[in-house]
Amino acid sequence: MAAKGKVGIIGSGLIGRGWAMLFAASGYEVCLFDILPEQVSGALDNIKMRLHDLQKAGLLRGSLTADEQFGLISGCSDFNAACQGALHIQECVPENLELKRKIFSQLDAVADDNVVLSSSTSCILPSKIFTGLKHVKQCIVAHPVNPPYYVPLVELIPHPETDPSTMDRTRALMVEIGQSPVSLKKEVDGFALNRIQYAIIAESWRLIQDGVMSPEDVDTVMSAGLGRRYAFIGPLEVMHLNAEGMKSYIERYGETMQRVLSTFGPIPDFSGPALEQVDTAMTSRTPSTPEALTERRRWRDARLTGLARLQSDMDNS
């Protein structure tokens, strides 16, 4: 079986493993590197087990078997060897600017003129990581959502000097591996997902802080209400469908939206009694212990998998 090409992954923690599985599912040869060799061997054991579990459950992505996919993934104890000949290198080291800058200067030194150098950063701006690099035109942020195997969104954010072809190639690669890329035309703090997520968190917090609702009920507004629609259509399309089109929605609800929005308070400080109340509500369902959190994440992933399967069945019917 000939691989499609090589992808280097720098950092084999949670996100590095997720990317490795996605690329291998599409037939790419993956080289995993980590500063800690035991992280690489742990990652390989974990990936092998997960691929076989997914195969047993009929949920493996792509057309290759679990063994074939695992056969495409290898560990690398040498940074240069992980990067050599790669068409795409995905950095997945901890969220620390100095560390990311160090990794990208190492990548800059070994990169040829074709490889895409991509960071998984959740919230560091591309201009902070890539400015001054010789290969800045080939640099991009490709921010996945955890767990990437079940949640397909990838945000693509360019540095002001990123070449449009780097965005195009990365977008095409993400589509090819079954993810759903969105492109930001320029960098903005928080990118798109976290800006929208933080707006939701802020208002959720205010409703609790102001004594309007319990934390459990606030979460139900999303899980049993807005989230049901948002799994299939975004807020703009919700508007379009909830009236006779977008302009009709604005005619009917524009003033109401402005009135309600004008009552939103200042940014919460996420501390004090509101924090205690939210923490008590969350820990009463899922204690903050590694075992309980792992168990609840498994529950979440099973549901995300079911949703992904439902969506793919509906799209194909």
> Which residues make up the interface to ligand NAI (CB under 6 A)?
10-16, 33-36, 39, 92-95, 99, 103, 120-122, 143-144, 146
Nearer to ligand NAI, 39 or 170 (CB): 39
- The C-alpha atoms of residue 111 and residue 117 are separated, in whole angstroms, by 8
Backbone angles phi, psi at 151, to 5 degrees: -120, 110
Least distance in angstroms from the C-beta of 103 to ligand NAI? 6
Rg of the chain over Cα atoms, rounded to whole angstroms, equals 21
State which residue has the least CB distance to ligand NAI: 13
Q: 79 vs 249, which CB is nearer to ligand NAI?
A: 79
Greatest Cα pair distance in the chain: 61
Q: Is 77 exposed, middle or buried (0-12, 13-18, 19+ CB in 10 A)?
A: exposed
Looking only at the bridges linking them, the beta strands covering 139-144 and 153-158 are antiparallel
* Least CB distance to ligand NAI at residue 91 (A): 8
DSSP letters for 48-116: HHHHHHHHHTT---SSS-HHHHHHTEEEES-HHHHHTT-SEEEE---S-HHHHHHHHHHHHHH--SS-E
Phi-psi region of 142 (alpha: psi -120 to 50; beta: other; left: phi over 0): beta
Choose between 39 and 209: whose C-beta lies nearer to ligand NAI. 39
- CB nearer to ligand NAI: give 11 or 268: 11
For the chain, report the end-to-end CA distance as a whole number of angstroms.
Answer: 31
Name residue 121's beta-bridge partners. none
Is 106 or 242 the residue whose CB approaches ligand NAI more closely? 106
Cβ proximity to ligand NAI: between 16 and 75 the closer is 16
Tokens read off for 47: 């990936």
Q: Which is nearer to ligand NAI, 66 or 124 (CB)?
A: 124
Least distance (Å) from ligand NAI to the CB of residue 250?
Answer: 34
Beta bridge partners of 157: 141
Cα 167–Cα 170–Cα 173 angle in degrees, nearest 5: 150
CB 173 to ligand NAI: min, Å: 17
Q: Whole-number minimum distance, CB 200 to ligand NAI, in Å?
A: 17
State the nearest-atom distance from the C-beta of 120 to ligand NAI, in Å.
Answer: 4
Minimum distance between the CB of residue 147 and ligand NAI, rounded to whole angstroms? 8
Q: Closest Cα to residue 105, out of 234, 97, 122?
A: 97
Structure tokens at 163: 């070449």
Residue 298 CB, nearest distance to ligand NAI (Å)?
Answer: 16
> 33 or 249: whose CB is closer to ligand NAI?
33
